[in-house]
Amino acid sequence: MSEPTAPIAASGTFVLGGFTDDPIAVRRLGFGAMRITGPGIWGDPADPEIAISVLRRAVELGVDFVDTADSYGPEVSEDLIRAALYPYDGILIATKGGLTRQGPDQWQAVGRPEYLRQCVQMSLRRLGVERIDLWQLHRIDPKVPADEQFGAIREMQQEGLIRHVGLSEVSVDDLRAAQQGLPVVSVQNLYHLQQQQSQALLDVCTADGIGFIPWFPLGGRTLVAADGPLAGIAERLGCTPSQVALAWLLQRSPAMLPIPGTGSVAHLEENCAAALITLDDAAIAELDALG
């Protein structure tokens, strides 16, 4: 078995909620638990024991930040996390709520306060905890006034059901509006080498000490293919294209918290080893130009 802190420890740490009176330090390279479910993020994985092995191996490699959502499965990801990792000693389990599922690859936001409360209560029950360390609003529902959604979350935080609050797929304006009543410690937006539309938000997060969690951090298969645009850099550095993509994210901002997900132990180990890769100035310049 590898040393518990290797190789993820090389990614460094970030303090979630460093501007609050209850901060949490996590290693910057985490694990996203979406892909441990069935096709279309729907139903059980083909082999639940493999999913459990992936989760446990992630922790062995030093991961202490696991991101999930009640809609992954739905419910399946949270159930597997509990089966594999409970009681979560030294591990921050972040989850999300506010999306409903109608079938494989189908998602619809519901932000009514009573539904958001149900999301939190059911995640507490599935994960077996009395408080969620980081609960994120999966999407702001455009059919419900944003203030009502933020107010419901604030109430649950004040009641002790939620320790820290995050948002997902938001703009700078959304973040600023939420901050009027919520101490937002993280945002989770689509971001990778070839998709940087959230750069302005990343800049705000970096300046304000808010964690930025890029979902889909590896981009499409073409980006990280063995013969893709990152292959030359990967060959020169003695690593894989996927590791180049993750290393670029880690060096992009100290607030960046990538959460690559997979249902394979081999892919997990490859992703975690990206923490050991340091991109030189030439590689950074080439990648920035590509982006």
* Residue 47 burial class via C-beta count within 10 angstroms: exposed 0-12, middle 13-18, buried 19 and up: exposed
> What pLDDT is recorded for position 14?
98
Classify domain 13-219+253-261 at the CATH superfamily level: NADP-dependent oxidoreductase domain (3.20.20.100)
Whole-angstrom distance, CA of residue 218 vs CA of residue 248: 10
Q: What angle do CA 55, 59, 60 make, to 5 degrees?
A: 115
Catalytic: which of 72, 86, 88, 191? 72
Tokens linked to 171: 């703009």
Q: Which of these, 195, 80, 194, lies nearest to 126 by C-alpha position?
A: 80
Model pTM? 0.96
Residues with Cβ within 8 Å of 285's Cβ and at least 6 positions away in sequence, in order, are none
> What pLDDT is recorded for position 246?
98
Distances from the Cα of 88 to the Cα of 42, 92, 94, 99, 129, angstroms: 25, 7, 11, 25, 10
Whole-angstrom distance, CA of residue 138 vs CA of residue 6: 31
Q: What are phi and psi of 220, to 5 degrees?
A: -80, 170
CA dihedral 67, 72, 77, 79 (to 10 degrees): 120
Helix-helix angle 241-252:281-290, to 10 degrees: 90
Distances from the Cα of 277 to the Cα of 163, 210, 274, angstroms: 33, 24, 5
pLDDT-flagged residues of the chain (< 50): 1-5
> What pLDDT is recorded for position 290?
87
Paired strand residues for 134: 94, 164
Q: Where along the chain do its domains lie?
A: 13-219+253-261
State yes or no: is 115 an active-site residue: no
